[in-house]
Chains A and B, each alone.
Chain A
Amino acid sequence: MMAEEILNIFLMYIKAFAVGGAICTIAQIVINITSLTSGKILVFTMLAGVILTALGLYQPLVEFAGAGATVPISGFGYLLANGAIKGAEKGFFYAVTGSLTAASAGVTAAVVFSFIMSLIFRSRTKRN
Chain B
Amino acid sequence: MTGKNAQNCNENYLKYVKQLDPPTKHFKNCLSAFGVGGLICTIGQFFRFMLEYAGLSGDELAGAVSVILIFLGCLLTGLGVYDRIGRHAGAGSIVPITGFANSVTSPALEFKTEGYIYGTAAKMFTIAGAIIVYGVFSGVLVGIIYYFL
Residues of A participating in the B interface, judged by any CB pair closer than 8 Å: 9, 12-13, 16-25, 27-32, 38-39, 41-43, 45-47, 50-51, 53-54, 65-68, 70-77, 79-81, 83-85, 87-88, 91-92, 94-96, 98-100, 102-103, 105-107, 109-111, 113-118, 120-127
- Kindly list chain A residues whose C-beta atoms are within 8 Å of the C-beta of B41: 16-17, 19-21, 65, 67-68, 71-72
Decide yes or no: A106 and B67 within 8 Å by CB, A21-B41, A42-B127, A76-B135 being known contacts: yes
Tell whether, in the assembled complex, residue B95 and residue A42 are in contact, meaning their CB atoms are under 8 Å apart.
yes
Which residues of chain B are within 8 angstroms of A75 by Cβ–Cβ distance? 62, 66, 97
Question: B20 contacts which chain A residues (CB < 8 A)?
Answer: none
From residue A85, how far is it (CB to closest CB) to chain B in Å? Answer: 5
Q: Would A24 and B95 be within 8 Å (CB), given that A32-B30, A67-B42, A109-B66 are in contact? A: yes
User: How long is the Cα–Cα vector from A75 to B104 in the complex, in angstroms?
Assistant: 18
A67 adjacent to B143 (CB under 8 Å): no
Instruction: Determine whether the beta carbon of A107 is less than 8 Å from that of B95.
Output: no
CB pair A113 B97 closer than 8 Å: no
| Chain B residue total in the interface (Cβ 8 A) | 77
Q: Is the interface of A mostly helix, strand, loop or mixed?
A: helix
Known: A20-B37, A95-B147, A114-B124. A28 touches B49 (CB 8 A): no
Known interface pairs A41-B91, A88-B146, A117-B105; A124-B83 also in contact (CB < 8 Å):
yes
Cβ of A99 and Cβ of B143 under 8 Å apart? yes
Residues in B whose Cβ lies below 8 Å from that of A94: 143
Set of chain B residues within 8 Å of A110, measured between Cβ atoms? 70, 74, 100-101, 104, 128
Docked pose: A98 CA to B69 CA in angstroms: 23
Shortest A114–chain B CB gap in Å is 4
| Shortest 3 CB-CB contacts between residues of A and residues of B | A20-B41, A99-B139, A24-B37
Q: Are B134 and A21 in contact (CB under 8 A)?
A: no
Contact A115 B108 (CB under 8 A): yes
Question: Judging by beta carbons under 8 Å apart, are B37 and A95 in contact?
Answer: no
Q: Are B97 and A72 in contact (CB under 8 A)?
A: yes
Q: How far is the CA of A71 from the CA of B99 in the complex (A)?
A: 10
22 inter-chain pairs at a CB distance below 8 angstroms, sorted by A residue, are A21-B33, A21-B38, A24-B91, A25-B34, A31-B29, A43-B131, A45-B95, A46-B131, A47-B135, A66-B48, A73-B100, A81-B138, A81-B139, A88-B147, A98-B139, A100-B136, A105-B64, A106-B67, A110-B128, A115-B121, A118-B120, A121-B78
